[in-house]
Amino acid sequence: MTCCSPVLELAQNEERVKAVDLRGEELKHAGRLGVDGTVTYVFSVPAIHCGACIAAIEDALRPLPGVVSARVNLTLRRLTVILAPENAPSGTTPLRLVETLERLGYPATPVDLGDLDQLARERESGKLLLALGIAGFAAANVMLLSVSVWSGADEATRDLFHLISALIAVPAVAFSGQVFFRSAFVALRAGRLNMDVPISLALLLSLGLSLYESLSGGAEAYFDAAVTLTFFLLVGRYLDQLMRERARSAVLGIARLAAKGATRIVAGEMVLVPIDEVRPGMLLRVPAGERMPVDARVLSGASDLDRSLVTGESEPVPAGPGLRVEAGVLNLTGPLDVEALSGAKDSFLAEMTAMMEAAEQGRGAYVRIADRMARLYAPAVHLLAAAAFLGWLVATDGDWYQAVTVAIAVLIVTCPCALGLAVPVVHVVGASRLFQAGILMKDGSALERLAEIDTVLFDKTGTLTTGTPRLARTDILSIEESAAARALAARSHHPASRAIRAGLEAVAEPDLEAVREVAGSGVEAMIAGRRARLGRPGWVAEIAAPDRLGHDGGGGNGIEEERAGGEKGSVAFAFEGAPITTFSLDEVVRQGAAPALAALRPAGLSVELLSGDGEAPVRRLAGMLGIEDAAFRQSPADKIARIRTLQAEGHVVLMVGDGLNDAPSLAAGNVSMAPASACDAGRLAADFVFTRESLEAVPFAFDIARRAKSLVRSNFALAILYNAIAVPLAMAGLVTPLVAAIAMSASSIVVVANSLRLTQRGRATKAKARDFRRRETVPASGAEPARRAERLEIPA
């Protein structure tokens, strides 16, 4: 329900039951009522990745009562479910769907159908595909007629064929060429030149000349050139558009994980209100496991707060009445009643958004490679055509017709068919390679910018580490104690308890009685008549046997030492009157972090760590991963300042981060990446989002970007080579419609073939990619038992 919040297990205490109820309510609002009473839900399910997933999901959902249809869209990682009318007996609720999916291992979130509609309305690719279909039809038929003319049709037959061609080509270009005409018109009105200006000019002039030729019984018509040109260029446009839309809709899917509502207390009753309707002064209840919807002050209740997403600090802080809390902070252990201090529009989140927008403006200066080429290319083409026109006018003593024909031939052969395809085809191939590796790309210019980087800045919490603690060491204990600690840990959703539960071996658990969770302290219960506590060492020590304290390293003093050494914290357990035992926790380094950094350094990139966390944990992690430049206690403004300094020194910066505090710096970096677990703002600000656990996505994307760049360059070289041959021929008046048609098609095919080399990999990269994919399948390290974790630990 909220992004990054721990996945809620089935309700285990009263508070959680309430939260789940509200969640069900919230889910119900995501559906759309059809005319026949059925309700349609669309879920974003990022974990879908192959055909087996389709079968698993559809087979699990279809037998549920009330499910009319369930269909997976593998391309968009989405699931559409139609439910029977709500009042039907034994109907399935959307909550049950989500729970079923979670059990199968496919966490799902509903997609806002309003956003989906908006996306569909803004969708350009459908229109482009239509234009492409018409241009393709026209190109094939006109070519058919043109081939007959080239192979010897003459006199009346030729004129007839020309006229039929005109009837097909003129409407086809008028419809399909609109994309280019419109863009050229906009550019001209702004006093600029872009690639579409020479394209439009060539299309219109060649059609005009050909019409004149056909009506006056002339021999040479360029109808085929005009339509094939439109067709090839539209292919480039369509691919470009398709890639952008795919990425946008995928990002939209995961961007919707945020809480859209808040629980308001009105006269003792709890009501779910949309987040936009929260006003300062409202009384809100924030259950454990939920995020603060707005900035607020705690009125009553006690709990621990996870502020890592907001400040980057990984250690939970205790919360009590009077504390001011920022929007986005995760409430961990107990329900809190809070008073809203701001509306959604002017909360801490909104402040961050404003900072992000300001930071983004600095990035607007980047000009895409294709546009840079167009700036050189368009004037050159126009000058050449004008020169050809004037030259022939002088040489033939004022033969207008001849001069115009040659000028048009120059425009047609130089027409940036190959150039128009050079960039988008490479980017589309690159995007699909990245998509296969679970990396979403917002648009092609991100790939261009990624290839330029020389510095990588990493955030710590949530990026280099997974943000959830792991059990590193424990001096436990007998099986009895271990089982009791594990059972107690199950009763709390403090991250530390989860880590302990995951870290201890699963054994038969004793029955607990009188379970009590003391927020900010821990969990207490009676086990077979003995009191047992799991929680803060000081609180546990109250009931433990005192003689053991201070005697050995496992006692209270040892804990303090460990914390100074940069441990994430420690938890103690004891039976009443029995010796105390401790668990030390540690942050889990994100999977693939070490190999990722090892791969980035030889590529000539300098790596820095920027964290909002305290000195000790940052130093420890930097030491483990061998990062020399590590800055700690960085505020969002500090991070931006660091990026600006680097940029002023001429560096091109890749920012990798996830937290709300990173969002402005993600926008400020020349290019940015975020894990899918990042907060909404972070994901929206990032150019790349990697949906798999491993950090190796970073060097992988960089590798693809670099190879894409070299392919784009070789494509440009090929296009220029082609022009170097074709332009002199055209200016000499040697290019007939037949030659133009062959030359254009050949150059386009060469460029596309060259671009497809991105899918082929060298042997070394191939092995790396396979390795990368295989490692993806290893389960998340959080579930590994503690003993194994210990072995993986690298001394600080």
Partner 1 sequence: MTALVFLVPIALFLGLLGLGAFFWALKSGQYEDVDGAAWRALQDEEGARIKEAKD
State both tokens at 361: 């403006």
Nearer to partner 1, 168 or 278 (CB): 168
Nearer to partner 1, 104 or 204 (CB): 104
Write down the least CB distance from residue 163 to partner 1, Å. Answer: 11
Pick from 21, 25, 58, 360: which binds partner 1 (CB under 8 A)?
A: 58
Nearer to partner 1, 55 or 732 (CB): 55
Sign of CA dihedral 459, 462, 467, 470: negative
Determine, following the binding rule CB under 8 A, whether residue 171 of this chain makes contact with partner 1. Answer: no
The gap from C-alpha 139 to its chain's centroid, in whole angstroms, comes to 38
Long-range contacts of 374-382 (CB under 8 A, 24+ apart): 374/193, 374/194, 374/195, 374/416, 375/193, 377/195, 377/198, 377/416, 377/419, 378/193, 378/194, 378/195, 378/197, 378/198, 379/193, 381/198, 381/410, 381/411, 381/414, 381/415, 381/416, 382/198, 382/201
Active-site annotation holder among 224, 459, 658, 703: 459
Q: Which helix (H) or strand (E) covers residue 596, if one does? A: helix 593-600
Determine, following the binding rule CB under 8 A, whether residue 529 of this chain makes contact with partner 1. Answer: no
- Closest by CA to 659, choosing from 312, 292, 313, 208, is 312
Determine, following the binding rule CB under 8 A, whether residue 140 of this chain makes contact with partner 1. Answer: yes
Write down the least CB distance from residue 420 to partner 1, Å. Answer: 22
Q: Where are the beta strands (DSSP E) in 684-736?
A: 688-690
Pick from 11, 17, 33, 74: which binds partner 1 (CB under 8 A)?
A: 74
Nearer to partner 1, 144 or 545 (CB): 144
Nearer to partner 1, 80 or 714 (CB): 80
Pick from 37, 51, 217, 546: which binds partner 1 (CB under 8 A)?
A: 51
Pick from 13, 69, 73, 557: which binds partner 1 (CB under 8 A)?
A: 73
Write down the least CB distance from residue 51 to partner 1, Å. Answer: 3
Write down the least CB distance from residue 740 to partner 1, Å. Answer: 22
- Interface segment toward partner 1; rule CB under 8 A; list 57-65, 194-202, 293-301, 307-315: 57-65
CA–CA separation, 405 vs 411, rounded Å? 10
Nearer to partner 1, 127 or 788 (CB): 127
Nearer to partner 1, 156 or 514 (CB): 156
SS3 558: helix
Nearer to partner 1, 245 or 703 (CB): 245
- Interface segment toward partner 1; rule CB under 8 A; list 54-62, 320-328, 470-478, 679-687: 54-62
Burial status of residue 273 (CB atoms within 10 A of its CB: 0-12, 13-18, 19 or more): middle
Write down the least CB distance from residue 151 to partner 1, Å. Answer: 14
Write down the least CB distance from residue 119 to partner 1, Å. Answer: 13
CA–CA separation, 240 vs 349, rounded Å? 33
* # binding residues, partner 1 (CB under 8 A): 28
Pick from 104, 113, 119, 144: which binds partner 1 (CB under 8 A)?
A: 144
Write down the least CB distance from residue 74 to partner 1, Å. Answer: 3
Determine, following the binding rule CB under 8 A, whether residue 783 of this chain makes contact with partner 1. Answer: no
- Interface segment toward partner 1; rule CB under 8 A; list 156-164, 342-350, 474-482, 738-746: 156-164
| 465-474: strand order across its sheet | 465-474, 581-589, 569-575, 530-535, 522-527, 513-518
Alpha helices in 362-399 (DSSP H): 369-395
- Interface segment toward partner 1; rule CB under 8 A; list 74-82, 97-105, 649-657, 761-769: 74-82
- Interface segment toward partner 1; rule CB under 8 A; list 11-19, 157-165, 313-321, 459-467: 157-165
Tell the residue number behind the tokens 């104690």, with chain if given: 481
Write down the least CB distance from residue 231 to partner 1, Å. Answer: 13
Write down the least CB distance from residue 228 to partner 1, Å. Answer: 15
State both tokens at 666: 């993600």
265 within 8 A of 284, measured Cβ to Cβ? yes
Active site residue 459: yes
Three-state SS string across 40-82, please? EEEEECCCCCCHHHHHHHHHHHCCCCCEEEEEEECCCCEEEEE
State both tokens at 146: 């043109």
The two beta strands, 296-300 and 336-340, are antiparallel
CA–CA separation, 550 vs 194, rounded Å? 76
Q: Which helix (H) or strand (E) covers residue 166, if one does? A: helix 155-176
- Integer angstrom CA distances of residue 196 from 181, 185, 374: 7, 9, 9
Determine, following the binding rule CB under 8 A, whether residue 62 of this chain makes contact with partner 1. Answer: yes
Determine, following the binding rule CB under 8 A, whether residue 431 of this chain makes contact with partner 1. Answer: no
Which positions from 690 through 719 interact with partner 1, judged by CB under 8 A? Answer: none
CA–CA separation, 400 vs 369, rounded Å? 37
Nearer to partner 1, 62 or 372 (CB): 62
Q: Which residues contact 175 (CB under 8 A, 6 or more apart)?
A: 131, 134
Write down the least CB distance from residue 704 to partner 1, Å. Answer: 19
Which positions from 119 through 138 interact with partner 1, judged by CB under 8 A? Answer: 126, 129-130, 133-134, 136-137
Nearer to partner 1, 164 or 518 (CB): 164
Q: Where are the beta strands (DSSP E) in 195-268?
A: 261-266
Pick from 54, 95, 631, 738: which binds partner 1 (CB under 8 A)?
A: 54
701 within 8 A of 385, measured Cβ to Cβ? no
Which positions from 260 through 289 interact with partner 1, judged by CB under 8 A? Answer: none
Pick from 10, 11, 33, 55: which binds partner 1 (CB under 8 A)?
A: 55
Nearer to partner 1, 49 or 530 (CB): 49
Output phi, psi for 603, to 5 deg.
-75, 5
Determine, following the binding rule CB under 8 A, whether residue 76 of this chain makes contact with partner 1. Answer: yes
Pick from 11, 33, 34, 59: which binds partner 1 (CB under 8 A)?
A: 59
Write down the least CB distance from residue 59 to partner 1, Å. Answer: 6
Q: Which residues contact 207 (CB under 8 A, 6 or more apart)?
A: 169, 170, 173, 222, 223, 226
State both tokens at 9: 């297990």
Interface residues with partner 1 (CB under 8 A) are 50-51, 54-55, 58-59, 62-63, 72-76, 126, 129-130, 133-134, 136-137, 140-141, 144-145, 157, 160, 164, 168
Which residues have a catalytic role annotated? 459
